[in-house]
Amino acid sequence: MTRKNTVIPISSFDPRLKDLLLQGTTKRIEIPCTSSKQRISLRNQLMDYRAAARRAGLPDAEKLYRAKMSLGEEKEGVFPLIIAPRGSEFNDILGGKAIESAVPVHQASDILADLPVTEEEKK
């Protein structure tokens, strides 16, 4: 038997979920949870809220998708849920100098000048 998808109205969510997601679009937030199950439930609620906001046509709905959620490493019984700007994990490698020095760019003529010329090519 197939299960019918339940559409949850936006009014049934805690409005603080929107605040968490909006903050996560600009800075990293770690939410300490007491269990892995609680952390997964909170992440699911946040994802359900984003989807409901999009369906409801809220003005900030698309902005909420700029926040990425990930599960942090459990330490001493604390299970963190991390909300951060999407792509922020690449800040170090996307900095200006990292891109410039990653791969040297050569002109085609420089590369060709370094290749040995055979007798046939000299003719």
Q: Per-residue pLDDT for the chain (123 aa), expressed as one digit of tens each?
A: 566 677 888 888 888 999 999 999 999 999 999 999 999 999 999 999 999 999 999 888 889 998 999 999 999 999 999 999 887 666 666 665 544 444 455 555 555 556 666 666 555
Does any domain span residue 4? no
- pTM, two decimal places: 0.67
Amino acid at 110: D
Does any domain span residue 1? no
Note down the domain range covering 33.
10-122
Does any domain span residue 3? no
Output Rg (C-alpha) for the chain, integer angstroms. 25
Q: Enter the tokens of residue 100.
A: 């410039």
Q: Report the alpha-carbon distance of residue 113 to residue 62 in Å, rounded.
A: 52
**Looking at residue 34, what is its pLDDT?**
93
Q: Report the alpha-carbon distance of residue 98 to residue 73 in Å, rounded.
A: 28
Contacts of 103 (CB under 8 A, 6+ apart): none
Does any domain span residue 25? yes
**Looking at residue 92, what is its pLDDT?**
65
Does any domain span residue 5? no
Look at the chain and report how many structural domains it folds into.
1
Does any domain span residue 16? yes
**Looking at residue 30, what is its pLDDT?**
92
Does any domain span residue 89? yes
